Every structure is written in structure tokens, then in C-alpha cells.
């Protein structure tokens, strides 16, 4: 099939590349000339495991091409994916400037039947707005479909190629049939393509993300309470999670959720609720608890050093908002680093992928280590903010030799508390 993807951010690029992988002819459109030039030379502009292999293969096969011309893109595709940014407005709502701007152009330019697919996470009612915007100008038939993505950073290729479900909001049989044909190769396992109305599809995405953020936040509160009463959250987690109604996943407590989706989507749903005269009380609490959780280790670090972090050196392992990504958006590490710097600490930091992004933001206020052990040299303590696999089984003898104090603050509960006791570390984690 002939597919066009407008917007080559994280979602657009993964969508375009994976759709090319099943034999579709995909044209990706972006206004960023430099980015398009790079991609034409085979350079993947983001870090996402396995994407480079697929990208390279499909470019070489001529199924994946790039252009800055929206006209060219609209000429090409029968299905036009909109994978445009929906940044957070000042009031927390999603800003539809880009989605509706491109819809205007689509209305003016299309000359034959098209299915316009909203892939971005957009508030309930956006498909109607896109429909109305295109209708103002369009001289041919078209349908608007809502098709939210459920891609996790770091697993996006796998999530796209083997989705647990595909949600399609469509009220046109013609558009639905085309979407089913497009996605058929991805659901050979029998996983469903769930067809519903556009508004329900739009809300499904927000509801799923807000639920997961709530699940994590609930567990963070249980962890905080465990500390008060001497229970072990790891045991509570396993005890709870084996109940299939609860499930084992997304029950890991830590220093809060971050990233480009959860924080933005929870706030957007809360705002959308209040616009519709509905007060999402549970989301108010989720936002509030997560804010506190991001710096929950700060007072503990401070009190370990008798309230004075001035002149102390803290090593930090992990800066990305989660492993397998270089993304630092809303990462808890940012809040921890800000708090530690304000208290006069010196920070020696290391992350396997996120160092360039951190350098851009913190410039020379941090000391950037070339490796995980280098970060520990003469540091007074180690703080872990992201659970990268390489931090899971360090050489503890080396760690204790390099640190001036044998103390670890672990925001991701990487180590067994008994092991740490045996290694003679002061070990402060979450809810244990």
C-alpha cells in the first residue's frame, strides 16, 4: 500500500519504518530540512533499539523515502498518518497547532480519496476537528481515523511489529477496511484490531497511560508507607502482583515516572476533564504524589550527611527517564540533580546513552564521567536514578574501593538488601 507519514519524530519514524518493513511504500515528510537530509543518508535521528537495522534495510529496498514536501507526500499516500507533536500548553492541555495546521494544508491539497490517520496522542474530539478543518477546503472524499500508538521507548519496534492490540477509531467502512488490510500482517498471532468510534479511541490512549501512571504511583505510595511500618515493598509487590486481576507489570516502585508520555498525558486528561466539568480527583493525586516522589531521596541523602551537602561529591548512575533510551524528558534524575546542586553538592554523572542530552541542558555544572566506575572516583556516595542493566551487577569490590563512603542511594531498587548488608554497604532504597 502507499503510505505517507507526516512528522518524523519518534512515533512517525517508528511507524513509517515498520510499515515499510511489511512491504508498503512509505514516504516520510518533515519540515526539518537537516533531519530529512540526514535520514536520506541513512542516519537514524533517534536512539531506539533495532530501528537502525530496519531503517537501513527499507531505505536500501527503496520502500522508505524522505521529503520536505508535503505536496509530494500527499500525492503519494492513500493513507496519511499524522504523527505530529502535541506539546503541553501552559495550562496542561494538548496544543493542536501542528495537527490542525497540517489538516488545513491537507484540505487544500488532496485530489483523490485519502484516509487521514491521527497517530499523535490527541484529546477527545480531535478527529472531529481534523475532519471539520479538512472539509473546509477539500474537493474530494476523505475519512479521518483515530489510531493511537502504544509504543514504549526502547521497545517501540517490537511493540509496533507485535502489538498486543491495535485500536482504530473509525466510522467509515471504507477507511476501516483499509486500516485492517494495513495492520493484518502485524496481528497474525491473533491479537485484535479493535474497531470503535473515534472519540473512544482517542480516550483509550489517555485512559491507558493514566491508568499505568496511577498503578505506578499507587505502588510508590505503598513503598513510602512500607518504610514507615517496616514492611518490604518487594514482597508486597510479588504478593499483590501474582493476583492476575492486578498483574505483575508496572508495579515497580521508584523515584517516580517520567518521559514524554505519562506526565503530559495525565495532565492533559485532568485538564480535559475539568474543561468538560469533570474533576478527575484521582489524577490530581497522581500528579501530586509523583512530583514528591521524584525527590523522595533528597532528604535522605541530606540527613545521611548531617544536613550539609556542601562540598560533598555524589556519583550518579542513570540519567535517562528509563533504560534503553537517551530521552531525559521529565526524568527524575533532573529533579534530583537540581536539588543536589542547590544544596552545594558536586555531581559526577554517567549514563550509557543520555550524556549528550544532559550536557546540552546542564553544561559545565556537572562533571561527566567516561564510564560507570569513573563516576565513582572519590565520590562520597552513589545515587542510582535509572535501572540500566549494566548497573544491576557491578563489581562491588571496585565500587567500595572507589567511593570514599560505602553508601548507595538507590532510586530503582536494583540490589538485594541482604546482599548489600553482606557487602557492608549503607544501602538506602525505596520502600524496603
Residue from 32, 100, 150, 180 binding ligand UDX (CB under 6 A): 150
Instruction: Using the minimum distance from each CB to ligand UDX, give the nearer residue, 108 or 235.
Output: 235
140 a catalytic residue: no
Q: Is 318 in the site for ligand UDX (CB under 6 A)?
A: no
Return d(Cα 168, Cα 68) in angstroms, integer: 28
Report the site for ligand UDX in 93-122 (rule: CB under 6 A): none
Determine the interface stretch with ligand UDX among 21-29, 122-130, 257-265, 295-303 (rule: CB under 6 A): 257-265
Cα–Cα distance list, 23 to 3, 18, 64 (Å): 11, 9, 10
Q: How far is the CB of 158 from ligand UDX (least distance, A)?
A: 12
Element (H, E) at 6: strand 2-6
Instruction: Using the minimum distance from each CB to ligand UDX, give the nearer residue, 122 or 345.
Output: 122
Determine the interface stretch with ligand UDX among 46-54, 254-262, 341-349, 377-385 (rule: CB under 6 A): 254-262
Q: Is 149 in the site for ligand UDX (CB under 6 A)?
A: yes
Size of the site for ligand UDX (CB under 6 A): 19
Q: Is 12 in the site for ligand UDX (CB under 6 A)?
A: no
Query: 224: exposed, middle or buried (C-beta count within 10 Å: 0-12, 13-18, 19+)?
Result: middle
Return d(Cα 313, Cα 298) in angstroms, integer: 14
Residue from 252, 391, 409, 425 binding ligand UDX (CB under 6 A): 252
Determine the interface stretch with ligand UDX among 51-59, 61-69, 258-266, 297-305 (rule: CB under 6 A): 258-266
Q: How far is the CB of 391 from ligand UDX (least distance, A)?
A: 14
To the question of whether residue 40 is assigned a binding role by annotation, the answer is no
To the question of whether residue 214 is assigned a binding role by annotation, the answer is no
Q: Is 163 in the site for ligand UDX (CB under 6 A)?
A: no
Burial call 154-176: b when 16+ CB within 10 Å, e when fewer: bebbebbeebeebbbbbeeeebb
To the question of whether residue 38 is assigned a binding role by annotation, the answer is no
Return d(Cα 1, Cα 16) in angstroms, integer: 12
Q: Which residues contact 236 (CB under 8 A, 6 or more apart)?
A: 222, 226, 431
Residue from 76, 267, 312, 322 binding ligand UDX (CB under 6 A): 322
Return d(Cα 369, Cα 318) in angstroms, integer: 12
To the question of whether residue 401 is assigned a binding role by annotation, the answer is no
Distinct helix (H) and strand (E) counts, the chain: 17, 14
Cβ–Cβ under 8 Å, residues 354 and 373: no
Q: Is 384 in the site for ligand UDX (CB under 6 A)?
A: no
Residue from 261, 269, 309, 314 binding ligand UDX (CB under 6 A): 261
Q: How far is the CB of 335 from ligand UDX (least distance, A)?
A: 12
CA atoms lying within 13 Å on the CB side of residue 41: 7
Q: Dihedral sign for Cα 196, 141, 184, 105, please.
A: negative
Q: How far is the CB of 80 from ligand UDX (least distance, A)?
A: 21
Q: Is 254 in the site for ligand UDX (CB under 6 A)?
A: yes
Instruction: Using the minimum distance from each CB to ligand UDX, give the nearer residue, 252 or 425.
Output: 252
Q: Which of 101, 131, 99, 98 is CA-nearest to residue 114?
A: 131
To the question of whether residue 322 is assigned a binding role by annotation, the answer is yes
Residue from 16, 258, 339, 431 binding ligand UDX (CB under 6 A): 258
Determine the interface stretch with ligand UDX among 122-130, 250-258, 282-290, 424-432 (rule: CB under 6 A): 250-258
Q: Is 321 in the site for ligand UDX (CB under 6 A)?
A: yes
Cell readout for 296 is 523522595
Q: Which residues contact 142 (CB under 8 A, 6 or more apart)?
A: 106, 110, 113, 114, 115, 116, 134
Q: Which of 40, 143, 30, 29 is CA-nearest to residue 75?
A: 29
Residue from 153, 198, 326, 380 binding ligand UDX (CB under 6 A): 153
Q: Tell me, residue by residue from 181 to 220, as one string, x for binding to ligand UDX by CB under 6 A and - for no binding.
A: ----------------------------x--x---x----
Beta bridge partners of 349: 316, 368
To the question of whether residue 339 is assigned a binding role by annotation, the answer is no
To the question of whether residue 205 is assigned a binding role by annotation, the answer is yes
Cell readout for 126 is 480531535
DSSP string, 203-263: HHHHHHHHHHHHHHHHHHHHHHHHHHHT--HHHHHHHHHTSTTT-STT---SS---SSSHH
Which of 18, 28, 226, 261 is an active site residue?
261
- Output the CA angle 30-36-38, nearest 5 degrees: 155
Q: Which residues are annotated binding-site positions?
A: 30, 35, 86, 121, 150-153, 205, 250-254, 258, 264, 322, 329
- Residues annotated as part of the active site: 261
Site of interaction with ligand UDX (CB under 6 A): 149-153, 209, 212, 216, 250-252, 254, 257-259, 261-262, 321-322
Q: Which residues are annotated binding-site positions for NAD(+)?
A: 30, 35, 86, 121, 153, 264, 329
Amino acid at each position: 500500500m502507499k503510505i505517507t507519514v507526516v512528522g518524523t519524530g519518534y512515533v512517525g519514524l517508528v511507524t513509517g519504518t515498520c510499515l515499510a518493513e511489511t512491504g508498503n511504500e512509505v514516504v516520510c515528510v518533515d519540515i526539518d530540512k537537516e533531519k530529512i537530509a540526514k535520514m536520506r543518508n541513512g542516519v537514524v535521528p533517534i536512539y531506539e533499539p533495532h530501528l537502525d537495522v530496519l531503517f537501513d534495510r527499507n531505505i536500501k529496498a527503496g520502500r522508505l523515502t524522505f521529503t520536505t514536501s508535503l505536496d509530494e507526500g500527499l500525492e503519494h499516500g492513500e493513507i496519511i498518518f499524522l504523527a505530529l507533536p502535541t506539546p503541553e500548553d501552559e495550562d496542561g492541555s494538548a496544543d493542536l497547532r501542528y495537527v490542525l495546521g497540517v489538516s488545513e494544508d491537507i484540505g487544500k491539497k488532496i485530489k483523490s480519496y485519502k484516509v487521514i490517520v491521527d497517530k499523535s496522542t490527541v484529546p477527545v474530539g480531535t478527529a472531529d476537528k481534523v475532519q471539520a478543518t479538512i472539509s473546509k477546503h477539500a474537493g474530494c472524499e476523505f475519512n479521518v481515523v483515530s489510531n493511537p500508538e502504544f509504543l514504549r521507548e526502547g521497545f517501540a519496534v517490537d511493540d509496533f511489529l507485535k502489538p498486543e492490540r491495535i485500536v482504530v477509531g473509525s466510522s467509515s467502512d471504507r477507511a476501516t477496511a483499509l486500516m485492517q488490510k494495513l495492520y493484518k500482517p502485524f496481528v497474525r498471532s491473533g491479537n485484535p484490531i479493535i474497531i470503535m468510534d473515534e472519540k473512544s479511541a482517542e480516550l483509550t490512549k489517555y485512559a491507558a497511560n493514566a491508568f499505568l501512571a496511577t498503578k505506578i504511583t499507587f505502588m510508590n505510595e505503598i513503598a513510602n508507607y512500607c518504610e514507615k511500618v517496616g514492611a518490604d515493598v518487594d514482597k508486597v509487590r510479588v504478593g499483590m502482583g501474582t493476583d492476575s486481576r492486578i498483574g505483575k507489570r508496572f508495579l515497580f516502585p521508584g523515584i517516580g515516572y517520567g518521559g514524554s508520555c505519562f506526565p503530559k498525558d495525565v495532565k492533559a486528561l485532568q485538564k480535559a476533564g475539568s474543561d468538560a466539568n469533570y474533576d478527575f480527583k484521582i489524577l490530581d493525586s497522581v500528579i501530586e504524589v509523583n512530583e514528591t516522589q521524584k525527590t523522595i531521596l533528597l532528604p535522605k541523602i541530606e540527613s545521611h550527611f548531617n544536613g550539609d551537602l556542601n562540598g560533598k561529591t555524589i556519583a550518579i548512575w542513570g540519567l535517562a527517564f528509563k533504560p534503553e533510551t537517551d530521552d531525559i524528558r521529565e526524568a527524575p534524575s533532573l529533579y534530583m540533580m537540581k536539588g543536589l546542586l542547590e544544596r552545594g553538592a558536586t555531581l559526577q554523572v554517567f549514563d550509557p546513552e543520555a550524556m549528550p542530552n544532559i550536557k546540552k541542558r546542564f553544561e559545565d555544572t556537572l562533571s561527566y564521567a567516561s564510564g560507570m566506575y569513573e563516576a565513582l572516583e572519590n565520590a562520597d556516595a552513589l545515587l542510582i536514578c535509572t535501572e540500566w542493566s549494566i548497573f544491576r551487577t557491578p563489581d562491588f569490590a571496585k565500587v567500595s574501593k572507589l567511593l570514599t563512603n560505602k553508601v548507595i542511594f538507590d532510586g530503582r531498587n536494583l540490589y538485594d538488601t541482604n546482599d548489600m548488608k553482606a557487602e557492608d554497604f549503607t544501602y538506602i532504597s525505596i520502600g524496603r
